[in-house]
Amino acid sequence: MTQATSPKSRQRRRDHPADLAAVDDDVPRLAKQHLHRISLADLVKHGRPPLSAEALLSSARFTLSLLPIRLAHRIQALRNLPYIVVSNPNISKIYNNYQHSLSTLLPWKERTINNLEDEIRFTEVLAELVQTHTDTIPILARGFLECRKYISPAEVTAFLDQHLRARIGTRLIAEQHIALHFSSTPHFDPEASPTPCPEHSSYIGVIDTALKPAQTIDSCGEFVADICELKYGVRPRWIINGEPDTTFAFVPMHLEYIVTELLKNAFRATVENSGTKNMEPIVITIAPEPPAPNPERNDSHSTPRADLYREAGLLEKDAGGVPGGHVKLGPRDSSKGEFKADAIRPLDDNVPGVTIRIRDRGGGIASEVMPKIWSYSFTTFSDDPDDFPNSNDDASNIISQASNGGSSIAGLGYGLPLSRAYAEYFGGGIEIEPLYGWGTDVYLRLKGVGKIE
């Protein structure tokens, strides 16, 4: 006669991570499944916090439906690398982290999250997952640097480009549910909540539905100016023009990262080109994307916003981001990024997207440097695997050093591949137009959730 097990015993068994053999068996099957491309609309569809218990459970189930597949895709991508590369201690550590994370989620695939007790335990698993993968990028970069004899720069660039984009989505899915969890009625604690909900009603989890880019630019500008002052003894100035009161729905953390990296390059170029005197201010123009033109009216190019776009030379280009870090800007496809959710406000008052132009007088970028700014080049390193020189045209080198906690203004373009990944993830992009000997214009385009119909 089989001895009965207690509910607590069964619970412990269900919550216990799957063994690695089971993970190995499940990876090929999960990696063949469709990888759902997450949108901002997906992340806000459960409503504005504080969520009801049922909406919170729905968010947890949606999160669980996506994450194991995404983790399996990354494990499979690592397995496809040369064996000698995966054997590197740093890359092997990341591989093991992904396997461990998948092993903690697989038991949850066999059950339904149908009560708040389950949701609490599942959120704890998500929090551990996010923490485990915090330093993935610098660790991977250091591993690839150590393996540069065994893998080509083109292969590394292709892998990291794909990995960065996948990582953005995976973390965002997990962080969004964690934020919704802490800002919802059953669990809300003003002191513990990682988001300002529900006091700041524009937030839905980690998304600010009324994000004001001008405020982010000023905040990031002060931070970068502090770094500049420490290194060079001067603080470059910046001017915001265009439409500074523009708001749209986006992830503040993503915008902060992108703007910080772009301002680092602009500030550094300005100081080093002009010295400590007679520095021209960096001019930052905020241009809200105009709504789709009304076919019954022929005035789509006569609005103040359109005039701003015309001045920036953006009206005649096609919409949508394209590979390689360039983005063509123009009228949006009104069918994308829109959804119906009457309770979500103030999305209906926001623009569908924003273009931010950062213009500096820092001397521009030489033609021989331009092809390198989007790549993870490994050709400039010495043969000593322990030597990590400060190479200005090598993004992955400085990314690897970032794990030490440093925040240097140096490193032309070190943040550009990462910034491009964040910008392109939701359909935006970055385009750089240098005028060598004079300065550089950087166009950052970001697409928000869109309007509610």
CATH number assigned to the domain comprising residue 338: 3.30.565.10
Whether residues 361 and 240 share a domain: the answer is yes
Whether residues 353 and 406 share a domain: the answer is yes
DSSP 16: S
Whether residues 345 and 435 share a domain: the answer is yes
Under the banding of pLDDT at 50, 70 and 90, the label for residue 393 is very low
Q: How many domains does the chain have?
A: 2
Q: How far apart are CA 21 and CA 24, in angstroms?
A: 5
Tell me if 453 is assigned to some domain. no
Q: How far apart are CA 271 and CA 254, in angstroms?
A: 26
Q: How far apart are CA 109 and CA 189, in angstroms?
A: 29
Asked if residue 430 lies in contact with residue 444, where contact means CB atoms within 8 angstroms, the answer is yes
At residue 195, the pLDDT reads 52
Whether residues 176 and 215 share a domain: the answer is no
Tell me if 199 is assigned to some domain. no
Highest mean pLDDT among 95-104, 348-357, 394-403, 418-427: 95-104
Note the pLDDT tens digit of each residue in 211-221: 999 999 999 99
Assess whether pLDDT exceeds 60 at residue 331: no
Asked if residue 360 lies in contact with residue 282, where contact means CB atoms within 8 angstroms, the answer is yes
Whether residues 256 and 292 share a domain: the answer is yes
Whether residues 143 and 271 share a domain: the answer is no
Whether residues 149 and 216 share a domain: the answer is no
Whether residues 143 and 275 share a domain: the answer is no
CATH number assigned to the domain comprising residue 129: 1.20.140.20
Q: What is the pTM of this model?
A: 0.75
Tell me if 314 is assigned to some domain. yes
Q: How far apart are CA 244 and CA 143, in angstroms?
A: 42
Residue 104 structural domain: 7-182
Is 140 exposed, middle or buried, given 0-12, 13-18 or 19+ CB atoms closer than 10 A? buried
Whether residues 424 and 288 share a domain: the answer is yes
144-173: average pLDDT: 89
Whether residues 129 and 249 share a domain: the answer is no
Tell me if 220 is assigned to some domain. yes
Tell me if 29 is assigned to some domain. yes
Tell me if 201 is assigned to some domain. no
385-411: average pLDDT: 38
Note the pLDDT tens digit of each residue in 340-391: 333 444 455 567 899 999 999 999 988 888 887 887 653 323 334 443 333 3
Tell me if 452 is assigned to some domain. no
* Boundary residue ending a domain (182, 214, 236): 182
Whether residues 33 and 87 share a domain: the answer is yes
Whether residues 139 and 264 share a domain: the answer is no
